[in-house]
Structure formats: C-alpha cells, structure tokens
Amino acid sequence: MLACVDVDYRPDVTVAACVLFRGWTDGKEAGHLVERGPVAEPYEPGQFYRRELPHLLRVLAGVQEPLETIIVDGYVWLGDDKPGLGAHLYEALCRAVPVIGVAKTPYVTTGPALPIVRAQSLRPLLVTAIGMETATAAEHIRRMHGHSRMPTLLKYVDRLCRES
C-alpha cells in the first residue's frame, strides 16, 4: 500500500490526513484516514518536522496494511545531510518505509532535490527521497495520475485535511 499524507493547522485543532492507494498510476484512493489533534507547535524555519511529525505519526498509526512508500508534502532533505520532515519521518518509522518528499517551492539550501515537470506546467515539483533512489522516487511522482502539476492523490490529501 502507498500513502500520501498532509497536515492542516487551525487555531483550535490540527488535522492530519492519509490517502492510501495501491499503484503509482491510480487515480482513486483505496481508503483514507483523518485525525484531529491538538494545536501544532509554532513554526520554526528549518524545524518544520517538529510541528508536523507528531500529527503524521498519529494518522499513520491507524493504517492497517503494510506501507510500501509514504509521500509527504515537503522535503526529505533540506540540504546535503540536513534532514527535513521526510527524513525525520523515516527515522521515526525505524527506517522501515521509504519516504518521498514532494515540494512546490524551493527551500533556501535544498541540495539533493530533483526537479520534475508534470503535464503542461512550467514550474517543477522538487522531489527528495530516503529509502530509495531519488531518481526512482521522481519517476514514481512523474507517473502518478493527473493532468496537472500536482498528482491527483496529492491534491486530494491536501483537500481532505483542509476540509475535514
């Protein structure tokens, strides 16, 4: 099973969502989970994982099937050997599940991100990974369903956590 995860922050609650799917080209979910939790920690530049990781772990704890890969909205690496959200998630899961980061905007010191262009977009997505080669991760993201810059299921998980 593959999973896309995202988190939405509100003044009174933090909502984490997980969309599960079976194949990289799937346009429909196999299932989803939504967890409402306490207000997130304040944002600290370069420390985004402190804010988001507890909520991702809570929603992922509800997944019943073994995960093959997790896709996060953000970076696995913020620079050479500087872990981002995805690397911290990989460690928190005991290095058992590869993590792919998909970012829409460049981070100031992004090192190993691989830019990919989907559909007719002129703006690339920036892909980083741990537990698999970045080129392989980028090819998975490129193949995902959808005719726009963002794959269908990544847009869906974002909407799911914002609207729940």
3-state SS of the chain: helix, strand, coil percent to 5? 25, 30, 45
Structure tokens at 22: 């079976």
**SS3 state of residue 153:** helix
Q: What's the pLDDT at 111?
A: 66
Domain-wise residue ranges, the chain: 2-163
**Is the pLDDT confidence value at 64 over 70?**
yes
- As a whole number, mean pLDDT of residues 120-143 equals 96
Structure tokens at 110: 């992004």
Sign for the CA dihedral angle at 73, 55, 28, 162 comes to negative
**Is the pLDDT confidence value at 109 over 80?**
no
- As a whole number, mean pLDDT of residues 54-82 equals 94
- As a whole number, mean pLDDT of residues 68-90 equals 93
Residue with tokens 């500087």: 82
- Return d(Cα 160, Cα 164) in angstroms, integer: 6
Cβ proximity of 56 and 32 under 8 Å:
no
- Return d(Cα 14, Cα 9) in angstroms, integer: 5
pLDDT in tens, 88-100: 999 999 999 999 9
Q: What is the pTM for the complete model shown?
A: 0.95
- Asked: is 2-163 a CATH 3.30.2170.10 domain? The reply is yes
